[in-house]
Structure 1
Amino acid sequence: MKRFIIAMAVAAGTLSGCAVYVPAEPAVVVKPQGGPGNGFCPPGQAKKGNC
């Protein structure tokens, strides 16, 4: 029984120091490439009249 209590205390001490850090803002920013005036039209969109 003593070994079990010691093992649980060691496990609790080991896991208590864990921390997870998540960045506040996304690291990747996606900018739209299509649109009027820049000359880029995705494949298949010109036939649909979107460019």
Structure 2
Amino acid sequence: MTKLRIILDTNVLISGLLSSLSTSQQVFDRVTKKETLLISETILQKFLKL
């Protein structure tokens, strides 16, 4: 079975990493465990500025 390639919004990434019980965390966990997370250069730059 082919894994889905998914891009998450910067806000979902940040929320998922900061709040262990949030819906964003559940989405982040599922994507990183079962699918392929793609991060664009723009999103990466925004993330690294924080």
Which TM-score tier does this pair reach, normalised by the shorter chain? under 0.3
Which has more helix, going by share of residues? 2
TM-score by length of 2: 0.22
If you compute each CA radius of gyration, which structure gives the higher value, 1 or 2?
Answer: 1
